[in-house]
Amino acid sequence: MLHGLESHSAWFTHSASYIASLGHPVYGMERRGSGHSAAPRGMCRDYRELLDDINALANRVLSNHGTDRFHLFGHCFGAIPATAYACTYPRRLKSLLLATPALYTIAEPPLIGKLKVLWAAITGSKIKIPVALEAEWFTDQPEFLDSIRNDEMTLHEAGARLYWETARARRFIHKRENELSMPVYMALAGKDRICDNVRDREFFNRVPANTKICSTFPEAVHILEFSSEKYAFFNSLEEWFAKNAEPGTEDT
């Protein structure tokens, strides 16, 4: 399970716990430079390092559970490395799950931020750009708003290079989306102010997977488990795993 840009794996313990309660072991991965990661905060030298990190954890998971494939779940920004990984190693996945995926976004850095991104790409500068996302864009539920505002591990600025590598990863996905033949689940928030639901759904429609489902939760703002439709989202996950788990095996 991969988290979003500002967040870390603890933001998604509700969905992780629910999936685990269904009998599927869950591993929440901290993106390097986020959460408890010891890497420089908000930095990324190459998006392929993120794929290598996923692969390193995957190798351990597969060895631990004696299986050769696993489900990969990307929340928000985490959908980008998750999908890039799926395009690179399609045969390793039982399914790809994307919740409010930031494959296409409405919220973008301002012009000065984009110029800094370009400058970092040219010069290798380690300049950082504020992550201009408001707590209200993630949830409209008061208890979760307080948690987000008081979270000391929230990523408030990211290296310009991370934004550049994100653009590279998106271009890679666009070129390789025909590799996404594994089952694909996508969940959208109807009131999302971060992700571009129209373009995300167009991407979903292009995916060649024979088994795929895209659900929209109309009242959700962005993070589905921080919304009034939390349990509807969980029920859809339960249905997905019931249909796409392999009978007689421990499902990861």
How would you write 133-155 as a 3-class SS string?
CCHHHCCCCHHHHHHHHCCCCCC
In a 3-state reduction of DSSP, which class is residue 26? coil
- Beta-carbon count within 10 A of 139 CB: 22
Strand 184-189 to strand 212-217: parallel, antiparallel, or no bridges (unpaired)?
Answer: parallel
pLDDT at 249: 38
pLDDT at 160: 86
Q: What are the sequence ranges of the domains in the chain?
A: 9-107+165-244
pLDDT at 200: 98
Q: Name residues whose C-beta falls within 8 Å of residue 118's C-beta, 6 or more positions apart in sequence.
A: 164
| CATH superfamily of this structure's domain 9-107+165-244 | Alpha/Beta hydrolase fold, catalytic domain (3.40.50.1820)
Q: Is the pTM of this model over 0.95?
A: no
- The answer to whether 194 touches 100, Cβ cutoff 8 Å, is yes
Angle between helix 13-21 and 230-244 (nearest 10): 40
The distance of Cα 210 from the centroid of its chain, to the nearest Å, equals 22
pLDDT at 128: 82
pLDDT at 222: 97
> pLDDT in tens for each of the 252 residues of the chain?
999 999 999 999 999 999 999 999 999 999 999 988 888 888 888 999 999 999 999 999 999 999 999 999 999 999 999 999 999 999 999 999 999 999 999 976 655 566 566 656 666 777 788 888 899 999 999 999 999 999 999 999 988 889 889 999 999 999 999 999 999 999 999 999 999 999 999 999 999 999 999 999 999 999 999 999 999 999 999 999 999 875 433 344
pLDDT at 247: 40
pLDDT at 42: 83
pLDDT at 248: 35
Residue 185 amino acid letter: Y
pLDDT at 246: 58
